A and B are shown apart, each in its own frame.
Chain A
Amino acid sequence: SAVISQKPSRDICQRGTSLTIQCQVDSQVTMMFWYRQQPGQSLTLIATANQGSEATYESGFVIDKFPISRPNLTFSTLTVSNMSPEDSSIYLCSVAGTSGSNEQFFGPGTRLTVL
């Protein structure tokens, strides 16, 4: 399995600001994803990060709010823009395609609190 790191691990931000979360994998992977886990809730897929092209967003998520970059096969960023308290969540990146199967492996997550 891949080793995935995320930075920062947690942050407390003010309303109206933006935060960029980094996801680094120790090997090249086919697919990278970003999920949101709101307090006490399950995980919801935000988008698929596509290498060298625009991310593919799920219903209810838009690029202006959650811009994503993926410059290469081992790195991606998610920005949470113009934050409000409702954006307080854990944001997780995941990767797939490391073993030729549909397994996804998750990073440790970034715990975001917006005041």
Chain B
Amino acid sequence: AQSVTQPDIHITVSEGASLELRCNYSYGATPYLFWYVQSPGQGLQLLLKYFSGDTLVQGIKGFEAEFKRSQSSFNLRKPSVHWSDAAEYFCAVSGGSNYKLTFGKGTLLTVNP
């Protein structure tokens, strides 16, 4: 069975600081990996995805993530955080043709001015 672990429940950073959100997955074959963001009272927005190829993927809003098969990780990064990045971030995995997504528990990001 596939699973996702986001070890950090809540992270606080200062505006302009760099950010890394951790994600570890468990899946028997090559996974499809995603990062979603959920702002308060909003639905989920897809930030980026990894299917195959280059292990460093670029997403929207200046985010990137790196797939590391040896570490079963797909960490999300941003070099300089903006106050508008404050939100909940979810890592998710799916595989094969069933499209089913398994989500991590999420990391709440607070940005201090």
A residues lining the B interface (CB < 8 Å): 1, 31, 33, 41-45, 48, 92, 94, 96-97, 101-109
CB-CB contacts below 8 Å: B1-58 with A: 32, 34, 36, 42-46, 49, 51
Please encode chain B, from 74 to 113, with 1 for each CB lying within 8 Å of some chain A CB and 0 for all others. Answer: 0000000000000000100010001111111110000000
A108 adjacent to B42 (CB under 8 Å) = yes
B residues lining the A interface (CB < 8 Å): 32, 34, 36, 42-46, 49, 51, 90, 94, 98-106
Q: Which residue of A lies closest to B95 (CB)?
A: A102
Instruction: Please give the distance in Å from B23's CB to the nearest CB on chain A.
Output: 12
Report the bound CA distance from A45 to B43 in whole Å: 15
- Known interface pairs A43-B90, A102-B51, A102-B94; A109-B43 also in contact (CB < 8 Å): yes
A104 adjacent to B101 (CB under 8 Å) = yes
Using Cβ atoms and an 8 Å threshold, which residues of chain B touch A105?
46
Which of B34, B36, B43, B106 has most A Cβ within 10 Å? B43
Using Cβ atoms and an 8 Å threshold, which residues of chain A touch B105?
41-42
Q: Which residue of B lies closest to A93 (CB)?
A: B43
Using Cβ atoms and an 8 Å threshold, which residues of chain B touch A107?
43
A102 adjacent to B99 (CB under 8 Å) = yes
Instruction: Please give the distance in Å from B60's CB to the nearest CB on chain A.
Output: 11
Report the bound CA distance from A104 to B93 in whole Å: 11
Report the bound CA distance from A111 to B43 in whole Å: 11
B51 adjacent to A106 (CB under 8 Å) = no
B51 adjacent to A101 (CB under 8 Å) = yes
B43 adjacent to A92 (CB under 8 Å) = yes
Using Cβ atoms and an 8 Å threshold, which residues of chain A touch B104?
42
Report the bound CA distance from A106 to B99 in whole Å: 13
Using Cβ atoms and an 8 Å threshold, which residues of chain B touch A109?
42-43
- Known interface pairs A42-B105, A42-B106, A97-B99; A102-B46 also in contact (CB < 8 Å): no
Interface CB pairs A-B, < 8 A, 24: A31-B99, A41-B105, A42-B90, A42-B103, A42-B104, A43-B90, A45-B100, A94-B101, A101-B51, A102-B49, A102-B51, A102-B99, A103-B34, A103-B46, A103-B49, A104-B34, A104-B94, A104-B99, A104-B101, A105-B46, A106-B36, A106-B44, A107-B43, A108-B42
